[in-house]
Amino acid sequence: MPLAQAPIASPFGHGSQAGEVIKGIDLKGKTAIVTGGSSGIGVETVRALASAGARVIMPVRSRKAGEDAAAEIRASTGNDAVEVADIDLADYASVRRFADAFVATGTPLNVLINNAGIMATPERRIMGGIESQFGTNHLGHLLLAAHLAPALAKGARVVALSSIGHRRSPIKFDDPNFETTPYDKWEAYGQAKTANALFAIELNRRLEPKGITAFAVHPGGIMTNLQRDMSKAEIKAFGWVDDDGNVRDGFKTTAGGAATSIWCATSPLLAGGGGVYCEDCNIAKLVPDDDASFAGVRSWAIDPDAARRLWTLSEKILDEKLSV
């Protein structure tokens, strides 16, 4: 059964760092895949898993950035089993190629963290017309997980990075690609982050009977290259930095941003199930859809009916029946 969408007694919280969360966890003999592992919180996610002894594969778009990050992580952790592979989440042939090649090796997969993402981009189209944020953040990762599913071992965990940005929009089932409504970059981002959360709900429903669980994660506010499509003026207008460019209080370090992903991927407190949205190294509380605070998850991001409907819609857009 899925876990209840309500906080539990966790020893960690908003200020916890990935290294603290992974302490005492032994991942020797385990294999993990982390997308977006060459920058931002992805680097710290890979570092934490590697520090616990895992073999970590980093499928990346920029091979050089990936190799540079992997070399630094190997040196800092003493774990040589940090590997780089090629993937472009906006190119579905590339996604299938990476995933199918991994499955063909026969290696059991213990952790999959869908960490990569784009945010608030200008209107762009991929794969012949798919809105880029929905197509990259959600569809690319859904396709990756579905093609990797045959390799997932019993006890494996899948972590999908969502965001508090899910509050900006539920799924626009009638127009997910903004074909008939004006494009709004924040609504598009919100929809994509809602989709990431619903993906975890539905994947968990499908795979939990096989002993595989899935979680959605809001990593918190962190200044990384995720903001690369935003101007300095826009970032300042949001109040994320002051006049001198200093990041406001409450934002996390990159290691802090990786902490909840690591918690969901490894914590024994979550051994009883999955299918929940997490933040600050805990299961998030469900909040009203008009809640104005900066914590919790709205109902549309954990609605099991919407999750099933989104899976069906995604298969239609991908033109592929996913055998999960």
pLDDT at 246: 63
Q: What is the pLDDT of residues 200-232, one digit of tens each?
A: 999 999 999 999 999 999 999 875 555 555 556
For residue 15 the two structure tokens come to: 């200020």
Local confidence band at 141 (pLDDT 50, 70, 90 cut-offs): very high
Average pLDDT over residues 291-305: 94
Contact 165, 216 (CB under 8 A): no
Contact 70, 82 (CB under 8 A): yes
DSSP 38-68: TSHHHHHHHHHHHHTT-EEEEEES-HHHHHH
Catalytic residue positions, numbered: 189
For residue 320 the two structure tokens come to: 């592929």
Provide the whole-model pTM: 0.94
| Cα-based distances in Å from 86 to 58, 66, 94, 270 | 8, 9, 8, 31
pLDDT at 72: 98
* Strand pairing class (130-131; 213-218): unpaired
DSSP 218-285: E-----SGGGGGS-HHHHHHTTSB-TT-PBPTTPPPHHHHHHHHHHHHH-GGGTT---EEEETTEEPP
For the cut 80, the answer to whether the pLDDT of residue 245 exceeds it is no
Q: Residue 250 — left, alpha, or beta (φ > 0 → left; ψ -120 to 50 → alpha)?
A: left
Q: What proportion of the chain, given as a percentage, has pLDDT over 90?
A: 88
For the cut 80, the answer to whether the pLDDT of residue 84 exceeds it is yes
Q: Residue 155 — left, alpha, or beta (φ > 0 → left; ψ -120 to 50 → alpha)?
A: left
The domains located in the chain, with CATH, are 18-318 (3.40.50.720)
pLDDT at 1: 76
* Strand pairing class (130-131; 152-161): unpaired
CA distance 134 to 2: 26
